[in-house]
Structure 1
């Protein structure tokens, strides 16, 4: 479609520009800007901001001086969407790549020019775009309004390109930039509709203004981002949004590319008002951990900011608040470990029958996962629509939409080193790795070649680098990683010890997972013990076992020359199942939900919880365990079974 053909009228643009300019001039004039980097000492002394007599009579104050939240983002802004006041900000006018946050503008433009709910066709060029989210087929036709769901729920790059091409891609991107100018987003520019280009750039302040406009004028787009999933006759799209289920979440969009790092525009209804909640927007650019950044900023606002009373030049503080100390990083990282996840076969049938194909429904009772810094599990099979069945006794291939659902549930990293990941061949395995990466889930135990498979996946939290390696003792041997071939790490690799030693030198603490042991055995065997002990001797800190489908024993182990807590290791020989369809016994319908607080000095606090599956394969009951402290010198050299 060509814009000159009547879809976009310049007269309309001019009128809209005047309206929006007036609106945002008022919106911007009410801003009280405090840079927490350049003026950190003044954050606590922010003066109440008086509103015009005709507007809402609210103001904020912060009694505490210097209580700055810990935020990894290169730039951020926290502001009130109703008054336009800026509460906290850092580098608010510095430009950074926006990644998939760009899709907010894509949706806004497509919504404005969509006449009578047009029908778009999937093109070869759109399908060639990086990423597989959306699940489209060449030549498929779909309503433009339906494309908003994969665009905003799964962050489908294909959906962004389908929309742009339907309305003439070059003209569409031009319209995105025109819309930015109309909304006075003076430091915002777009090169593509998906956010893959590092030239898609904006500032935390511009994103705040964009959020304010969408919140007031296009709230239906935000409503889409609060859905867990959406289905039409051919597709089911699940949200990969980390903030779904969080208290007061109003919607938003996040993104990630290597140049942009993690980005976010997140809106919340926050209980900080005298007469109720306030609508708060948080924008982040260049973050290393968007979820924790938003969480820390929200905590700060709830503890330090209060709206209420009639504002005036000499208004006294309305409410006294006790001081809080300067926020510091915790001295430990909270790790959660889950067992086997297999969402094909009986689980798939249950999801289709009971949840309309919405895989995220499986996790609706596991909000506790988001309280952990890192969540690890074993992905028991490919998540793909590619490849062909290699004819195993049991072959699994999960629907690709499970990957966004896993991300939305809070999964940080998955092991792919197991005997079912190759059930549909190399093509499905490669596709699975690509989908995990697209949805910002790290993986270990395999890679596109030997070098990637041997490189630990690293997650940094609070200045601690936590590394992950995965090995399989159950094949398939044909899927071993080679210099020029995708595949897995095997415990039979002649460089087994060298791989672990090298990985341990790259991180503060190394976690090694093994797919080993015998199915349905509740006690580990000699081979499991040998491999686990050897890995700890090589530098591993925590050993996580999967494959037996039932929970096995745990062990504290240290080598004979260990003299401090940092070399004391913990072994969980088998976590059992997290989600699997093995209904033939009570033991296979539950698993260990292992929580470990890993302290900087290497000491640990371990809690062995049990999670039970219901009859539709939802983990719905967590039986809490008792926390056990593990540190040197209480643990002598050798092993202690627990």
Structure 2
């Protein structure tokens, strides 16, 4: 990101997102993240390599998370202009120190459609579109990540390798699928793991990565999931777990979600976020960590009514812990999340805060 881009991001933090006023603001001023490492992540906001010298001081950082994203239907044409592919919400993503979404599609133009009702795929240009809109990392561990079966998986893995774009939750084997993406952001060493707790019953065996077969990281294997978090914890300041979980259109987390969240927090996860329900769920604090049970749709061709309720989750991390959180509400129109303002935003925020009631989570860090 160049000087002009950084200025735009700073303006977005101060203005559009109003993070500072909400206590979720960044450090302000110039962002020196481009110079933090010898190897830069695609967006330029974070460094995936070491500095070769003294470790940089840890600064507070802002993390942004969006929900389910694909490029089906009318969204496919947006891939032609990477910088505007996600619409106005990209300003919020670019302003964050690291932004992540759930990429709910196979990356292929071939393969064989899976035996299911809905199958999603997108060309490799989807990675450029995400990068151009400020997204730094995605998870493909979800119930659409292998929609075009083994051929689509091979294409997806090849596209990931060619692009160099950070993707978690998918791989040539289980170790690869569970491997964390490690990146240093303003002196903070992050490790990000992705996995899915949701798979069609008839596809579980075919889609689950094993020691000898490619596929998705499955959170149904709880011991392996816990092991992945413990491994990610080593050498990290912040461990983020992105999960595909829950039940469609259910506004409260399932017992198995709550149980898994507790197990992952106990294993060392500082942040557990995810989606699948196509509507927002609640979030809050659990034993010093932050858990969010569902961010709803984000860039999604068929969103309407309740499934058009969307937003960006913003977390301020300081000294390895989430110290503040903010929901920046949006409403999907034409498949794109449009940030809300004024009374519409206030009403959506009140509704979102009310979702915490059935989660058992706390509104503030203890």
TM-score in terms of structure 2 length: 0.76
Tell me which of 234, 249, 252 is aligned to 1:523: 252
Instruction: Give the match for residue 569 of structure 1.
Output: 289
Please state whether the residue corresponding to 2:107 is helix, strand or coil: coil
**Distance in 1 between the 2:257 and 2:125 partners?**
34
Instruction: Give the match for residue 372 of structure 1.
Output: 96
**Distance in 2 between the 1:537 and 1:284 partners?**
31
Larger-gyration structure (1/2): 1
CA shift, 1:490, in A, is 1.1
Tell me which of 44, 62, 85 is aligned to 1:291: 44
**Distance in 1 between the 2:181 and 2:79 partners?**
34
**Distance in 1 between the 2:317 and 2:128 partners?**
28
Are residues 1:581 and 2:296 paired?
no
1:40-51 equivalent positions in 2, closer than 5 A? none
CA shift, 1:579, in A, is 0.6
Are residues 1:640 and 2:325 paired?
no
Q: Which has the higher contact order (CA 8 A, sep 6+)?
A: 2
After superposition, give the CA deviation of every residue in 1:197-229 in whole Å (9 maximum; x if it has no partner).
xxxxxxxxxxxxxxxxxxxxxxxxxxxxxxxxx
TM-score in terms of structure 1 length: 0.45
Tell me which of 103, 108, 118 is aligned to 1:384: 108
After superposition, give the CA deviation of every residue in 1:12-66 in whole Å (9 maximum; x if it has no partner).
xxxxxxxxxxxxxxxxxxxxxxxxxxxxxxxxxxxxxxxxxxxxxxxxxxxxxxx
For the structure 1 residues 373 and 285, does the alpha-carbon distance in structure 2 shift closer, same or farther, using more than 3 Å as the test?
closer
| Paired residues, number | 309
Tell me which of 534, 538, 544 is aligned to 2:263: 534
For the structure 1 residues 598 and 484, does the alpha-carbon distance in structure 2 shift closer, same or farther, using more than 3 Å as the test?
same
Are residues 1:480 and 2:205 paired?
no
Please state whether the residue corresponding to 2:280 is helix, strand or coil: coil
CA-atom RMSD in angstroms: 3.0
User: Is contact 1:433–1:443 with CA below 8 Å preserved after alignment?
Assistant: no
**Distance in 1 between the 2:172 and 2:72 partners?**
24
Please state whether the residue corresponding to 1:640 is helix, strand or coil: coil
For the structure 1 residues 541 and 489, does the alpha-carbon distance in structure 2 shift closer, same or farther, using more than 3 Å as the test?
same
Are residues 1:597 and 2:342 paired?
no
Instruction: Give the match for residue 335 of structure 1.
Output: 63
1:252-331 equivalent positions in 2, closer than 5 A? 286-288=38-40, 291-292=44-45, 331=59
Instruction: Give the match for residue 357 of structure 2.
Output: none
**Distance in 1 between the 2:245 and 2:79 partners?**
35
For the structure 1 residues 618 and 459, does the alpha-carbon distance in structure 2 shift closer, same or farther, using more than 3 Å as the test?
same
Instruction: Give the match for residue 361 of structure 1.
Output: 84
User: Is contact 1:245–1:367 with CA below 8 Å preserved after alignment?
Assistant: no
**Distance in 2 between the 1:570 and 1:431 partners?**
35
Please state whether the residue corresponding to 2:5 is helix, strand or coil: coil
CA shift, 1:527, in A, is 1.4
**Distance in 2 between the 1:583 and 1:489 partners?**
27
Are residues 1:394 and 2:118 paired?
yes
**Distance in 1 between the 2:323 and 2:271 partners?**
10
Instruction: Give the match for residue 236 of structure 2.
Output: 507
Please state whether the residue corresponding to 1:495 is helix, strand or coil: helix
User: Is contact 2:237–2:320 with CA below 8 Å preserved after alignment?
Assistant: no
User: Is contact 1:360–1:402 with CA below 8 Å preserved after alignment?
Assistant: no
Instruction: Give the match for residue 407 of structure 1.
Output: 131
Please state whether the residue corresponding to 1:451 is helix, strand or coil: helix
Are residues 1:450 and 2:179 paired?
no
After superposition, give the CA deviation of every residue in 1:528-556 in whole Å (9 maximum; x if it has no partner).
11111111011101111210010011121
For the structure 1 residues 449 and 588, does the alpha-carbon distance in structure 2 shift closer, same or farther, using more than 3 Å as the test?
same
**Distance in 1 between the 2:340 and 2:313 partners?**
11
